[in-house]
Each structure stands twice: as structure tokens, then as C-alpha cells.
Amino acid sequence: MISARENIIAGLIAWGASDKEVALELRISPETARTHRKNILQKIGGHNAADLTRWFFQNQTGLCFGLSPRRVIHLACFFLALTIYSEFVHCDMIRTRTARVVKMAKISRARRKDTYLMSA
């Protein structure tokens, strides 16, 4: 139904990439990315990025998005928990790195101070 290149672009858009980000990732112009998006939407009968996302994940995972409201809520909670977890893991990595940088800066200042006192 859609070409391999269009499938790649659909995947990027489905994961939240803008036309500009798709263009940077694939080394094409933003206008070309926009044209691809419009062609994909026309082929799948969609109107916006939400339709494209639904179509992409339905075709990639085999999940039917005509789910009951209860299942939709369960899926939404799962993806929300996954997102929150990944944000906290990323936060911890930044916090650990920042603490390490601050500690190294204190050590460097102390060494410079000691060197200055010894030379005086």
C-alpha cells in the first residue's frame, strides 16, 4: 500500500517527529517530508497525525484500535507509566552527572588553592 520510504516516514511521524525532524533525520527538505506525509495520509484515508499514528501502530503491532474504553484506558496508563519511568531514569542520569561535575569542580578548586598556597 505504501512504499518502504513512506513506511519509515510514517514511523517517525507516529513516534512524534515533526516534518522538520523527519527532514533532518532522513536528510531531505522539510517540504519533501510534508509531501510524503500528505501522500501517506491520502493513501491510508487519514486526515491528521493521529490517524497516521493509529494506522501505523495497528499495522506494526497488529493491535486493533477499535478497543473498548476500558482497554484504551489500560493502554494509555501503560504508556504513561512507561514515559514517566523513562523520564525519571533520564533525570537520575542527569542528576548523577551533575553531582559528579560539581564534585570534580570542588576538587579542582581545592587543588588550585593548595598549589597557590604552596607557591606563595
What contacts 23, CB < 8 A, 6 or more positions away? Answer: 29, 30, 32, 33
Write down the mean pLDDT value for the chain. Answer: 81
What is the assigned CATH class of domain 1-66?
mainly alpha
Distance of CA 28 to the CA centre of its chain: 19
- Residue ranges of domains in the chain: 1-66, 67-120
For the stretch 27-54, pLDDT in tens is: 999 999 999 999 999 999 999 999 898 8
Q: Which amino acid is at 114?
A: D
pTM beyond 0.95: the answer is no
pLDDT range class, residue 63, cuts 50, 70, 90 = low
